[in-house]
Amino acid sequence: MIMRAAPVKLSLLGAAVLTACASQKPLDTQALEQARTEVHTFSANPAASEIASHELAASRSSLSEAEEALRDRKQEDLDYYAYLAVRQAKTGEARIAEKQAKQRLAQVRGQREQVVLDARNAELEAQSKLAAQLTERGMVLTLSGVLFDTGKATLKPGAAPALNRVSTYMTQYPRTRLLVEGYTDNQGSRTANQQLSELRAQAVADALVMRGVPRNRIDTVGRGPSLPVANNDTPEGRDENRRVEMVFSDDLGRFAEAAVTGVNR
């Protein structure tokens, strides 16, 4: 009986060995290899941590889960986490590409707007032949000397050519707005000079409106004797301080914040 049982035991042992061998067949790691490549490439992108940090962390975590599934010989988990890692890496790369494309577009727009601004400023200076300069308040044109007599807000005839050129410019750039600032010398009381400066700014605005510039594109403000550009101790200096400064907006009608304090609309 014992001798007859031996072949049966050997047969069972052989079946167990075959079953064990079958359970140790190699796993399919193709998806894992793709995940490793995608996550490595994504991680190497210098912008990943700044622009797509969430996707970066998620793809690394999913890849780690896929590696663990490989060690545990779990094919289904391996495929799932490998697929997830690839998708997360690609999503992060797409986010980076979108952000960088927007940055490039903004840069191109900024360069284009600067070119337009430079061209407008050059044209403005060429047309007006006035003391034009780019300041923190924007592009500023100064009209002085020929505009007003002492204590007066009536424009002299000599102001006409400059105002004609400014109105022409405003017609060519219909979205541009204008801030007209009136100034005085220091002769007389501050209250009187404040009122006079407001009247001078209004006089220039009215003259431009008569030349076809819409009133709603012109703001006015009186600055009185503040911010003199010359010495008030001499007649020549006082002539320069009796002036009007015109501040031009950008092409969208926006003024710099430094330009709009105390403006009348």
Query: Does 37 fall in a domain?
Result: yes
Query: Does 180 fall in a domain?
Result: yes
Query: Does 234 fall in a domain?
Result: yes
What pLDDT is recorded for position 136? Answer: 84
What are 108-136's pLDDT values in tens digits? Answer: 888 877 776 666 666 555 544 455 678 88
Give the residue, 242 or 215, on which the prediction is more confident.
Answer: 215
Task: Return mean pLDDT, the chain.
Answer: 84
Cβ neighbours of residue 16 closer than 8 Å, sequence gap 6 or more: none
Query: Does 206 fall in a domain?
Result: yes
Give the residue, 116 or 208, on which the prediction is more confident.
Answer: 208
What pLDDT is recorded for position 259? Answer: 66
Same structural domain, 198 and 225: yes
> Cα Rg for the chain, rounded, in angstroms?
39
Q: List the CATH number of the domain containing 244.
A: 3.30.1330.60
Query: Does 246 fall in a domain?
Result: yes
Indicate yes or no: pTM above 0.85. no
For the residues 65-78, what does the mean pLDDT come to?
A: 93
